[in-house]
A and B are shown apart, each in its own frame.
Chain A
Amino acid sequence: MIVIIDYGIGNLRSIEKALLQVSSHVVRTDNPQVIGQASRLILPGVGAFGACIEEVRKRNLELSIMDAVRRDVPFLGVCVGMQMLFESSSEKGDYRGLGLLHGHIKELTPSDPSLKVPHMGWNVVQPVQSNPLLHGLPEQAFCYFAHSFYATETDPEDVIAMTDYGCSIPVAFSRNHVYGVQFHPEKSHHVGLRILSNFATLT
């Protein structure tokens, strides 16, 4: 059972219907008991980091998440869900993240002034190490991005893919059974569905 952690922010139907393409058993919930039975966990996120992490904590979901991670349940953070895996974020304040990955979330400031923020649209995700999450992607794997903040001061060992937007930014991570992607696999057509399918079949 793939569990999407629903903490009341945003529309989760997109990610749910994308997961239903690759798995028959997908559940949206904030119930710790159901989360405890998950064989895969997804942490989505849209909007501001602070608002997201506060909702997660308000619902006492941090404990359920940490518990699942301790049991080595494959865990994928998407967009702001990925950002929450890190130690902290400086978006509209100073917020503590889940601390499952080393690094901090900071504002994207491309050196080229013609590059706009948010980084929004289709960009190429370039694997930098072999990882089952990224198996079977085409040579030019375009994915859909919509974000203004990104992960920095990360552990190079955790970074599995980068994207070029004026500079090289890390956009996919893996550490033990914890995964994170900055882009939206549920909006990234074949490439995104392949990544979700890879996640659903991780061994």
Chain B
Amino acid sequence: MPLAKRIIPCLDVDQGRVVKGIQFVDLVDAGDPLEQAHVYNQEGADELVFLDITATHEGRGIMRDVVRRTAEQVFIPLTVGGGIRTLEDMREMLHAGADKVAINSAAIKSVDLISECAEAFGAQCVVVAIDMKRDQQGGWEVYTHGGRRFTGIDGLEWAKEAEKRGAGELLVTSMDRDGTQIGYDLELLQKLDDLVQIPVIASGGAGTLEHLRDGLMIGRAHAVLAASMFHFRQVTIKEVKDFLHEAGITVRKVDLK
């Protein structure tokens, strides 16, 4: 049996609250991270991603205490990102209870950070997060600082480079699709799957069960990440798992007790 495809709710956190924006702006409050984490753990999410979305932009460190208390709620893998700049930041997050750490802007600034982290803690806990936007030439370009800063770097080349440097996984967000609920950028996902060997987590655009299925089947992603559709209770994790199972995708089903 192949590994189960993973369903990952994403907690975008700002000032200690879960928020959800559209194309990275217009943030709406979506609850308390501790409560959300607890519910997702109970419902059978396969992993949780906790992103402090304004940490880098505001030039501050991630809220360690919120991470620590969120980690207490979950018995599934937890990935934490936002404002991670150094090896020491990463160590601190792992000690706060993260199982994996996502690095984004800092990896662009200093590509050696990826290999340093992989060397120190193992590739399995280094997730490189990449925010991409389509350009005029039919490619994708990388943005940093929570989507605020254009880098001029080619998205696919950066993905390849991140793998080469020792990333264990890629978390790729389509900025064009983020918060729109019109579906993942499937073309981008396919290109990434052709290009890299490491698992790709699809992010940005999921709004329906079909979108999640397509991300996994057509986009060939290893995991699908979504925020709005879970936070606002449009669907439950159980409904997602049942639907994907029916579609013939291997998922970890949880008997709710």
| Chain A residues with a Cβ under 8 A of chain B | 10-11, 13-14, 17-18, 21, 46-47, 116, 118-124, 138, 140, 142, 144, 146, 164-165, 186-190, 192-193
Q: How far is the CB of B69 from chain A (nearest CB, A)?
A: 12
| Chain B residues with a Cβ under 8 A of chain A | 1, 3-4, 6, 41, 44, 46, 71-72, 75-77, 94-95, 97, 99, 121-124, 168, 197-199, 222, 252-255, 257
Bound CA span A122–B223, Å: 11
Bound CA span A88–B21, Å: 52
Q: How far is the CB of B241 from chain A (nearest CB, A)?
A: 11
Bound CA span A140–B198, Å: 26
A121 and B99 in contact, given A188-B75, A190-B254 (Cβ under 8 angstroms): no
Instruction: Provide the residues of chain B in CB contact with A190, threshold 8 Å.
Output: 254-255, 257
When C-beta atoms are compared, the residue in chain B nearest to A121 turns out to be B3
Bound CA span A17–B99, Å: 14
Complex contact B255–A144 (CB within 8 A): no
Bound CA span A138–B122, Å: 31
Bound CA span A123–B252, Å: 8
Complex contact B3–A123 (CB within 8 A): yes
Instruction: Provide the residues of chain B in CB contact with A13, threshold 8 Å.
Output: 71, 95, 97
A123 and B4 in contact, given A13-B97, A146-B124, A189-B44 (Cβ under 8 angstroms): yes
Q: How far is the CB of A79 from chain B (nearest CB, A)?
A: 11
A120 and B1 in contact, given A17-B72, A187-B75, A188-B75 (Cβ under 8 angstroms): no
Q: How far is the CB of B57 from chain A (nearest CB, A)?
A: 28
Q: How far is the CB of A67 from chain B (nearest CB, A)?
A: 30
Q: Determine which residue in B71, B72, B124, B197 has the highest number of CB atoms from chain A within 10 A of its CB, and name it.
A: B124
Bound CA span A189–B44, Å: 8
Instruction: Provide the residues of chain B in CB contact with A140, threshold 8 Å.
Output: 252-253
When C-beta atoms are compared, the residue in chain B nearest to A46 turns out to be B122
Bound CA span A164–B44, Å: 22
A186 and B75 in contact, given A116-B199, A121-B3 (Cβ under 8 angstroms): yes
A120 and B122 in contact, given A164-B1, A187-B77, A188-B75 (Cβ under 8 angstroms): no
Instruction: Provide the residues of chain A in CB contact with B122, threshold 8 Å.
Output: 46-47
When C-beta atoms are compared, the residue in chain A nearest to B73 turns out to be A17
Instruction: Provide the residues of chain A in CB contact with B3, threshold 8 Å.
Output: 119-123, 165
Q: Determine which residue in B1, B3, B4, B76 has the highest number of CB atoms from chain A within 10 A of its CB, and name it.
A: B3
Q: How far is the CB of A48 from chain B (nearest CB, A)?
A: 8
A121 and B75 in contact, given A189-B44, A190-B254 (Cβ under 8 angstroms): no
Instruction: Provide the residues of chain B in CB contact with A21, threshold 8 Å.
Output: 75
When C-beta atoms are compared, the residue in chain A nearest to B91 turns out to be A11
Q: How far is the CB of B105 from chain A (nearest CB, A)?
A: 24
Instruction: Provide the residues of chain A in CB contact with B72, threshold 8 Å.
Output: 17
